[in-house]
Structure 1
Amino acid sequence: MAKGRPNRRILDSYTVKSINKTIRAGDCVLMRASDSSKPSYVARVEKIESDTRGSNVKVHVRWYYRPEESIGGRRQFHGSKEVFLSDHHDIQSADTIEGKCTVHSFKNYTKLDAVGNDDFFCRFEYNSSTGAFNPDRVAVYCKCEMPYNPDDLMVQCEDCNDWFHPNCIDMSIEEAKRLEHFFCANCSSGDQKKLNSSHALTRHSDVKVDTKRRRR
């Protein structure tokens, strides 16, 4: 007679001895890739279970995909620390956890004073079979009408409040950093396209996240 599946019990937490970190459901973790040349996988722990003796601990995870792991691949507006929350669920040994990490909302990520190695952000959910994203439209900026990449410096027009990449307005990064005032071509008159004297550049802003312009 075939043996039945061993009884499993749900754990509230589990301490991964190799890293001396306690993992709980809802935590985001870095998991060892099968190919050592690849970066660690990012996942969200959904459930932790073990056998009745408390050994053979498994974690139920929901994977985050990096842009290059998605069907469409990495695009210009994807940030270096961007990940997509996928519909791909899995069960892995808890021993493959290499560390804990934080996956911020896009808005919270743009407000960080400093980004650590274990900081990521997510603004899309991703369907791993179809390649579809939710939401399927995001705010766009600049003459190039691209979504915001938080890795890129942008300058803000003091009149229309839109944001621009320096290279899209024939400006170097160094020039942009020296700006104190900026008016875009549509809002300025004659030669008064760039003025120097107040605020202009920022990496993050609530306006950038909440703008109403959408990709068509």
Structure 2
Amino acid sequence: MAKAKPARRTLDSYAVKHINKTIRPGDCVLMRPSDSSKPSYVARVEKIEADSRGTNVKIHVRWYYRPEESIGGRRQFHGSKELFLSDHFDIQSADTIEGKCTVHSFKSYTKLDAVGNDDFFCRFEYNSSTGAFNPDRVAVYCKCEMPYNPDDLMVQCEGCSDWFHPTCIDMTQEEAKKVDHFYCHDCSSEDQKKLHNSHVSTRNADAKNKYWLRTRIPERLELAFQICAFSIIPFFGIFRWIQNAVGGDTYSVGEDTKLCAGAMQTNTEAVTKSEFLKCKKGTSWENSVCVYLL
């Protein structure tokens, strides 16, 4: 007569003594890999079982796959901490648990102030047999039309709200980190296309034909359009600039591109046309944005 299997019971939680942590169903854990040279496996605890004496604890897990473990392999848009929730279920000894971790939703992960060693994110479920993903479509960004990789620095266009990789818009990483306002190629006027922001304009500007202007009166705004081409402020849409100024705010326009950070308010009174024409390059006011004199 076959010997009956010893009864097993389901546990609500289990204290893993060797890591001094308590695990529960729904927790994510780091599991010891068979090859010590590889990173820890990541799994979600589905169920915890023990024998009648509370020993020989087994955990039912659902594995997370890293991109390089999938059929298609790691792609450019995959983050370094990205995981796929697979349909691969398994039973492991609790002794193989190396620690607890957190697998965030993609949205939650992108809002973290700091990413720890035990922080991961998941935006896809993965079928380990077919290599299919759910969802099978994801939003793409930039000119390269790639999904968002949270490891990569990107700048957002204030016009269309799309995100761009600095390298795709001829911008260095250092310049991108300093961007306060940015308008992409499609959202910029023809004269503004290559002047992405105040920092980029510094290297492109032709100083010999720049003048200064401060104005808040509508008539003088019209005058400004007659004599100035607003080609160094693609980061602040000119129509929006007009609306704010007509609303009573006073704005500065200037030649010192190093100080440019947008159309900023100032308490200085508006100048007349003659005063404007006397303000040759070299005149300095605070909080300025640049224009070209036609």
Per the normalisation by structure 2, the TM-score is 0.66
SS in 1 for 2:95: helix
SS in 1 for 2:3: coil
- Does residue 84 of the first structure (1) align with residue 67 of the second (2)? no
Matches within 5 A, 1:34-49: 34-49=34-49
Q: How far has the Cα of 1:178 moved from its partner? A: 1.8
2:59 corresponds in structure 1 to 59
Extract unaligned runs of 5+ from structure 2: 199-260, 263-294
2:69 corresponds in structure 1 to 69
Aligned-residue CA RMSD in angstroms?
0.9
Spell out, residue by residue over 1:109-165, the C-alpha distance to the aligned partner (whole angstroms, 9 max, x if none).
Answer: 000000000000000000000000000000000000000000000001111111100
SS in 2 for 1:159: coil
More strand by share: 1
After TM superposition, which residue ranges in structure 1, 4 or more long, deviate above 6 angstroms?
none
CA distance in 2, matches of 1:25, 1:178: 45
1:22 corresponds in structure 2 to 22
Counterpart pick for 1:195 among 171, 194, 197 = 197
- Does residue 146 of the first structure (1) align with residue 146 of the second (2)? yes
Relative to structure 1, the CA distance from residue 10 to residue 21 in structure 2 (aligned partners, 3 Å threshold; closer, same or farther) is: same
SS in 1 for 2:160: coil
CA distance in 1, matches of 2:59, 2:3: 23
CA distance in 2, matches of 1:118, 1:195: 37
CA distance in 2, matches of 1:21, 1:179: 44
SS in 2 for 1:90: strand
1:5 corresponds in structure 2 to 5
Spell out, residue by residue over 1:191-213, the C-alpha distance to the aligned partner (whole angstroms, 9 max, x if none).
Answer: 42312225xxxxxxxxxxxxxxx
Aligned residues: 198
1:211 corresponds in structure 2 to none
Q: How far has the Cα of 1:179 moved from its partner? A: 1.6
1:173 corresponds in structure 2 to 173
* Rg (Cα) greater in structure: 2
SS in 1 for 2:79: coil
Spell out, residue by residue over 1:13-71, the C-alpha distance to the aligned partner (whole angstroms, 9 max, x if none).
Answer: 11111101001111000000010000000000000001101100000000000001111
Instruction: Letter of the 1:167 partner, please give it.
Output: T
More helix by share: 2
Instruction: Letter of the 2:92 partner, please give it.
Output: Q
2:276 corresponds in structure 1 to none
Q: How far has the Cα of 1:170 moved from its partner? A: 1.0
CA distance in 2, matches of 1:74, 1:94: 30
Per the normalisation by structure 1, the TM-score is 0.90
1:106 corresponds in structure 2 to 106
